[in-house]
A and B are shown apart, each in its own frame.
Chain A
Amino acid sequence: MEFFERFAIPHPSPAIYASMVAIVLTSIALVVGLTYFKKWGYLWREWLTTVDHKRIGIMYLISALLMLFRGGVDAIMLRAQLAVPENQLLDAQHYNEVFTTHGVVMILFMAMPFIIALMNFVVPLQIGARDVAFPRLNALSFWLFFFGAMLFNISFVVGGSPDAGWTSYFPLAGNEFSESVGSNYYMIAIQIAGIGTLMTGINFVTTIMKMRAPGMTLMKMPMFTWTALITNLLITFAFPVLTVLLAMGTFDRLFGTHFFTMDNGGMDMLWANLFWVWGHPEVYILILPAFGVYSEVISTFSRRNLFGYKAMVASIVVISVLSFIVWAHHFYTMGQGPLSNSIFSITTMAIAVPTGVKIFNWLFTMYKGKIEITTPMLYSLLFIPLFTIGGVTGVMLGMSAADYQYHNTMFLVAHFHMVIIPGVVFAMLAGLTYWWPKMFGFMLNERLGKWAAWILAISTLVAFMPMFLTGLDGQARRAYTYSEATGFGPLNMLSFVGAIGLAIGFAVIVYNIYYSVRYSPRNISADPWDARSLEWATHTPVPEYNFAILPQVSSSEAFWDAKKHGHKLFPGRYEEIHMPNKSGVPFIMSAIFFIWGFALIFSLWTLAIIATLGIFACMTHRSFEKDDGHHIHLGEIEETEEKLGGTKL
């Protein structure tokens, strides 16, 4: 029995036990359902072993949506707790755990897989490639992310959640002040998911640099692909810092090293410093693909080519440099002098310039355009004013002297939510609606989609504008309650109403998906939005090999040229296509990583050693495996193409 005591929750509550029961019941239901409908084989053959970038993209998408609801439930709990003064809904410890998991889940397990989902599905299609450069590595990326996320998610029912904030600053996150295994979960689960993300970065940089269609020079890439390239470059350079940082944190917690302790030569502030060396580029890793989605959507529904393409490219390249030299603005109050604060203030404000360039480019794209307000376009239009509120308050926070007033208050919380929700979440929802017909062969209902967009936009304002005011009045973030005398009550109640509104908005999106699955017409064309880039030039559903003949490109809007200006997009004949083989190893290896992580979290050394050997066994297997892929023969291509209506243009 003693052995199992370590898995108990240190600070239980009825809600946690209820979730435990719910998790067990859901798992049983899944297993029973899969067995009853005889879907195990289908699941294994079509999904768990796939290396197809489109299917991997869809799996990322499903994970992101699941995690959105996990993080959303956390958010509702937080706002409910703060809705009235001296509330008893959550105690201090639970509140700490909930805001920690809310942050980690939303940033790393919702926003990241959501952008990677869109990149996976769209980028190879947009550059006219048949898959990514390393398809099997792509599968490994996904499964590492997935098992990392699952490992993090079981923390609240096995051993206790992390409770030191999503930034997990030392010395708070050290063994002395965080005794439960919660912070071990943080270190190990994010490490596993982070390795997957790093592989994605390398994979996509290679894909975009090496596998573009004939004629597509760098300056003829669609804007989403450009942002994906810079994003993955940032991933490749920023995530190693996180990897090293988490490894150092793990060593401190598990093996008694002194990287971040306050004695024995440790330097606790170094954690905050290195965390933000990764953390600030991470902000741009999230926002750049969002900008890419908006560029595609705004140009498509204004029926104009993107205004200032070169300025747009220049601004994202400048952001890729600036995003690495602003990190200290996350801790102006930490104790460094005015010299460094001034330097980082200036670089921070400088980054508003390229961002402003982009906003004006979108406005000028719409100027004199033939604007059609579809759901993705509505998200983009709502994004511009809302994001500007977030952006301007960001410049306020960027001034180091003024930051002493705003630091660690609700003002900051309001700022980054006003940036991330209109910036990233709206973009992902816009992208989801925009590319949905390409992914699934039917459109989402426009009426419900627009309702959701409006509800989300209004609720975002209702939820976060009050926090600017309470924050300026001194309401601290991460404090689980406040007294009535502070007068924060009414505004926090208003915030809670906004949070409920956001929940309703997401419920409408779920209903929309359900409604469209049942009633949406299936006889749509391959290009339902009358769009401009290559992903719309192939069939719906997209065949395994994407393009029967590789497209020939001569501008950034090759498909539009083909439709309107008689450009010959698919010259040549069908030829045999070489495609990668499926493999179950990425899934198995990542499952072993899950066990490895679990063993380390609970210091089960024997199991950890066995799992490590398992990981190496998988890698050895890969080294000696002979895998030349397979060929799709001419007859098969002709048959598929005929069934889908033949290659046109």
Chain B
Amino acid sequence: MGELFPRGQVMGFIFSLVLTAVAMLVYFMDMSFTTGMTVLLVTAFIQAGLQLVVFMHAGETKDKYDIYANIVYGVLMALAVVFGTLLLMIWDVV
């Protein structure tokens, strides 16, 4: 019976609920904008990773390194574009 119980999925589900609850705190508690955004960003990225691995089976096939490489590449390029744009359009305007 023990091996039939979807332990990983249940743990993942509980953990994702916890992450959602933590994110909800930003609305219910009185915190500064910076703190709030930090909490949201951190929980959002952990949540996305959790969903990919636990519920979308990213790490369960032979091509898991292709999938991870693709995600890493996409995240790096997105960060480059976002921070590059912030630098060019806002932080470094003379």
Selected contact of B81 from candidates A270, A324, A343, CB within 8 Å: A324
Given A270-B89, A340-B88, 13 more A-B residue pairs with CB atoms under 8 Å apart are A209-B63, A237-B73, A237-B74, A270-B85, A273-B88, A277-B81, A320-B73, A325-B84, A335-B94, A336-B88, A336-B93, A337-B92, A339-B87
Interface residues of A in 237-277 (CB under 8 A from B): 237, 241, 267, 269-270, 273-274, 277
- Chain B interface residues (CB < 8 Å from chain A): 63, 66, 73-74, 76-77, 80-81, 84-85, 87-89, 92-94
The number of residues on chain A lying at the interface, defined by a beta carbon within 8 Å of a beta carbon of chain B, is 22
Q: Are B84 and A328 in contact (CB under 8 A)?
A: yes
Answer whether residue A442 sits at the interface, using C-beta atoms and an 8 A cutoff: no
- Contact partners of B66 in chain A: CB under 8 A: 209
Chain A nearest CB: distance from B93 CB in Å?
Answer: 6
Determine if A336 and B94 form an interchain contact, defined as CB atoms under 8 angstroms apart.
Answer: yes
**Complex-state Cα separation, A320 to B66, whole angstroms:** 16
Give A108 Cβ to nearest chain B Cβ, in Å.
Answer: 21
0 or 1 for each of A275-292: is its CB under 8 Å from B? (1 = yes):
001000000000000000
Partner of B88, one of A233, A237, A328: A328
Does the CB pair B80–A340 fall under 8 Å? Answer: no
List 28 interface pairs A-B (beta carbons < 8 Å), by A numbering: A237-B73, A241-B81, A267-B89, A269-B89, A270-B85, A270-B89, A273-B85, A273-B89, A277-B81, A277-B84, A277-B85, A320-B73, A321-B76, A321-B77, A324-B77, A324-B81, A327-B84, A328-B88, A335-B93, A336-B87, A336-B92, A336-B93, A336-B94, A337-B94, A339-B87, A340-B87, A340-B88, A340-B92
How many pairs, one residue from A and one from B, have CB atoms within 8 Å of each other in the complex?
47
**10 tightest A-B CB contacts, nearest first:** A337-B94, A337-B92, A340-B92, A336-B92, A336-B88, A324-B77, A325-B80, A340-B87, A339-B92, A340-B88
Distance of A324 Cα from B81 Cα, bound (Å): 8
Q: Per a CB cutoff under 8 Å, which of B80, B87, B89, B94 touches A324?
A: B80
Residues of B within 8 A of A320 (CB): 73
A316 to chain B, nearest CB (A): 14
CB neighbours (8 Å) of A328 from chain B are 84, 88
Bound CA span A444–B16, Å: 63
Give the secondary structure class of A's interface: helix
Residues of B within 8 A of A321 (CB): 73, 76-77
Please, what's the 1-or-0 string for A192-210, where 1 marks a CB less than 8 Å from any CB in chain B? 0000000000000000010
Near B by CB (< 8 A), chain A positions 61-111 give none
Report the nearest B residue to A233, measured CB to CB. B73
Residues of B contacting A335 with CB < 8 Å? 93-94
CB distance from A163 to the nearest CB of B (A): 26
Interface string of A303-330 (1 = CB under 8 A from B): 0000000000000000011001101100
Q: Which residues of B contact A269 (CB under 8 A)?
A: 89
A237→B77 contact, CB < 8 A = yes
Of chain B, the residue at the smallest CB distance from A238 is B77
Q: In this complex, what residue of A is CB-closest to B66?
A: A209
Minimum distance in angstroms from A348 CB to a CB of chain B: 13
Q: Which residues of B contact A336 (CB under 8 A)?
A: 87-89, 92-94
Task: Point out the residues of chain A lying under 8 angstroms from B76, CB to CB.
Answer: 321
Closest B residue to A340 by CB, please name it.
Answer: B92
> How far is B73's CA from A321's CA once the two chains are assembled, in angstroms?
8
- B80 nearest in chain A by CB position: A325
**Closest A residue, CB atoms, query B85:** A273
What's the nearest-Cβ distance from chain B to residue A212, in Å? 12
Cα distance A343–B80 in the bound complex, in angstroms: 12
* C-alpha gap A274/B74 in the complex (Å): 17
By beta carbon, the residue of chain A nearest B78 is A237
Q: Which residues of A contact B88 (CB under 8 A)?
A: 273, 328, 336, 340
Give complex CA distance A324, B92 in Å.
19
Residues of B within 8 Å of A337, CB to CB, are 92-94
Instruction: With both chains docked as a complex, state the minimum distance between the C-beta of B8 and any C-beta of chain A, in angstroms.
Output: 27
B83 to chain A, nearest CB (A): 10
> Could you say which residues of chain B place their CB within 8 Å of the CB of A327?
84
Task: Identify the closest chain B residue to A327 (Cβ).
Answer: B84
Chain B positions within 8 Å of A237 at CB level: 73-74, 77
The digit string for A208-245, where 1 denotes a CB below 8 A from any CB of B, is 01000000000000000000000001000100010000
B residues near A267, Cβ cutoff 8 Å: 89
B87: A residues at CB distance < 8 A = 336, 339-340, 343
Complex Cα distance, B12 from A316, in Å, reads: 38
Bound CA–CA A529/B93 (angstroms): 56
Bound complex: CA of A209 vs CA of B66, how far in Å?
A: 9
**Complex contacts, B81 vs chain A, CB 8 Å:** 241, 277, 324
Considering the complex, give the chain A residue whose CB is closest to the CB of B63.
A209
- Bound CA–CA A328/B93 (angstroms): 13
Q: In whole angstroms, what is the CA distance A239 to B89 when docked?
A: 21
CA distance A324 to B79 in the complex (A): 11
* A233–B94 CA distance with the chains assembled, in angstroms: 35
Within 8 A of B (CB), among A332-379: 335-337, 339-340, 343
How far is A216 from B83 in the complex, measured between Cα atoms in Å? 39
Inside 8 A of A339's CB, which chain B residues have their CB? 87, 92
Closest beta carbon of chain A to B70's beta carbon, Å: 8
Within the complex, the shortest CB–CB distance from B90 to chain A, in Å, comes to 9
Q: Which of B76, B77, B87 gathers most chain A CB within 10 Å?
A: B77
Chain B residues whose CB sits within 8 angstroms of the CB of A209 once the complex forms: 63, 66
- Chain B residues within 8 Å of A324, by CB: 77, 80-81
